Structure formats: C-alpha cells, structure tokens
Amino acid sequence: MPNTPLTVVRSKSGLRDAIANIHYSGQRVGFVPTMGALHNGHLSLIDLARTKSDFVAASIFVNPTQFAPGEDFETYPRDEDADLEKLASAGCNLVYLPTVEDMYPTGSLTDVRVPGPSDLLDGVYRPHFFYGVTTVVARLFIHVRPDVAVFGEKDFQQLQIIRQMTRDLGFEIEIVGGPTQRDPDGLAQSSRNRYLSDDQRRIAGALQAALVRAAARIEAGTALSTALAEARAFLRTAGFDKVDYISAVDATTLRDLPETRSEWPDITRLLGAAWIGKTRLIDNIPLTGA
Ligand code: PAF
C-alpha cells in the first residue's frame, strides 16, 4: 500500500483541532491505542479500523500507571521512528504521542476502575494493571473522541473490561476486537516477544498449543479441571518456568466456569499466562461460541 501522509500530533491541543476538523467534515474516526513497539498485530488493528471508519488515528503512549514498581516500564521497547514508518505504510492518518503531562496533568487524582473483572485472572497477578489501563483508555477516549476503537483479542481480558467501561460511562464508541496475529508456531504476536532469547523463543509457541490441546480435550469430554491441569503440566514439560493460570471462563464476566457443562454460558474462553525466564506471556482462544 502506498504511504499515506501521517499527521504526527504531540499535544492534546494539537489533537483537539485535528479531530474537530475530521468530525466537522462528517468523517467517522477510528482509533487504535498502543504503547508502541509496533508489530503486525497492531498493524492488523489499523487495517480493521480502516474498514470501520473514514479516518484512522492511533496513539503511542507507554502508560506508567499500568506498570507496578519492578515491572518493565523503564525497559519497555520504544522505537518511535520505526513505529511512525509502520503506521504510515499501514495507512494510518494520524498518530497522537501525548506527553505524561497531557495524560496525567499535575495534581490529577481521577482513576477509572472496573472492579470485579479487573481483579480476576491477570488482575490477581498484576493488581494495579487494569486500573491503569482503564484510566488511560478513558482519558484517551476523551482526547481523541473516536466513533470506533479497536483492541486486540490477544488481550482478551483487557478488551472485555474496556467494553464494560465504555457501557458504564456511556462513551458513544463502538468497541471492536481484532483477531490475534500469530507466528507460524502459534505464538501470539506481542511487543514483549522481543525479550525472548532464541532458546526461549523455541519454547514460547507451547502456550497456544497448551490451550488448543486443552480445548480439544474438553470438547472430547475430559473433565474441565483435568484438562486444565494437563495444560499446566504440558507447559512445564515444554520448558515454561512458571504457570500463573490456565483458566476456562465465561467470556463476558470472565468468571471461572463450573465443572458442570450444563451450567456453562454459550460463549466461553480459555486463557493462560505463563513465564519463560523473566518474560510473562499471555494468550487465549475461544472454547465454545465465538
Ligand atoms: O494494550 C495496550 O497496548 C495497552 O494496554 C493500551 C490499551 C494501549 C493502554 O495503555
């Protein structure tokens, strides 16, 4: 695709004028928030946003409030020049690179929290995480004023929590989930994959394999708790150092499924999080329903 002129906006005030003009001309604004270090997964979200809107805006902001002390905020990969090139070749129209002061003005006190789903699964292991995500995404929604926003299904829990927040706060924004992009061995594409050494990278594809095997075992009638325990054991045998969870949940509430299948909702999901060395990988696949 030919390079689209990409407007780079580095302040909230500059963004306000650019977006006002787009809305004034009657165009529908699509939005893809990111933390940069862009890969094909992000670019597929830009493609999807383009099919749902007339003008695609992305943001790049490594959000400090979703990292706990000791996590990788300082070392999180940052490569602005490469990111801008990728956005331009993907046909993105505008990128917003706010400052910390734009997102969290001095003296700022307001958090946006979705208690309940934010405290399950990843929320058990990273209790601050979703509170930081919903706070920054709500602020980005207010700055960008999109009609549609696209988030990757790779971060399925994040996507469902953002859907809930959008409903609760009455944002008139359509939330769309984009399919996970995978490497040939099944590893879900993620900015953090670049932390993996070659040896670790060879192991990493086992996370999706564990979920796919568990789904097949459950489909074949194996008890849920047995299939989930087998998946954890499979990961340890494959070389993962620690498994935070492998869980089968209601895709809407993110609550664990009961053992009795007749009590399951129509749409369910299998999610997992596990460590190779210092790198934590997450993934998920549908179990039943969409
Ligand atoms: O998924 C991400 O990259 C981040 O959590 C998001 C949604 C951009 C908020 O910082």
pLDDT tens-place string over residues 244-259: 999 999 999 999 999 9
The rounded Å distance from CA 187 to ligand 1 centre is 19
The rounded Å distance from CA 260 to ligand 1 centre is 35
The rounded Å distance from CA 32 to ligand 1 centre is 9
When computed from its CA atoms, the radius of gyration of the chain, rounded to whole angstroms, is 19
Specify the fold of 191-285.
Answer: Pantoate--beta-alanine Ligase; Chain: A,domain 2 (3.30.1300)
Q: What is the mean pLDDT of the chain?
A: 97
- List pLDDT tens digits, range 8-66: 999 999 999 999 999 999 999 999 999 999 999 999 999 999 999 999 999 999 999 99
- List pLDDT tens digits, range 52-71: 999 999 999 999 999 999 99
Q: Which residues are catalytic?
A: 42
Residue 252 in tokens: 């809407």
Three-class DSSP category at 281: strand
The rounded Å distance from CA 216 to ligand 1 centre is 31
Indicate if the alpha-carbon torsion angle 85, 86, 87, 90 is positive or negative.
positive
229-259 residues labelled b (16+ CB within 10 A) or e (exposed): ebbbebbeebebeebbbbbbbbbeebeebee
> What atom in ligand 1 is closest to the CA of residue 62?
10
Nearest CA to ligand 1 atom 5: 133
Residue 149 in tokens: 């926003």
Q: Which residues contact 22 (CB under 8 A, 6 or more apart)?
A: 29, 54, 55
Q: State which of 83, 126, 155, 162 you would mutate to test the pocket of ligand 1, scoring each by most atoms of that ligand within 8 A of its C-beta.
A: 155
- List pLDDT tens digits, range 102-113: 999 999 999 999
pLDDT beyond 80 at 290: no
- CA 136 – CA 49 distance, rounded (Å): 20
Q: Where in the chain is the domain with CATH 3.40.50.620?
A: 7-178
Assess contact for 40 and 126: CB atoms under 8 A. Answer: no
Q: State which of 63, 141, 157 you would mutate to test the pocket of ligand 1, scoring each by most atoms of that ligand within 8 A of its C-beta.
A: 63
Q: pLDDT category, 123, cuts 50, 70, 90? A: very high
Residues lining ligand 1, CB < 6 A? 33-35, 63, 66, 133, 136-137, 155, 158
Q: Where in the chain is the domain with CATH 3.30.1300.10?
A: 191-285
- List pLDDT tens digits, range 228-241: 999 999 999 999 99
Please tell me the CATH code under which domain 7-178 is placed. Answer: 3.40.50.620
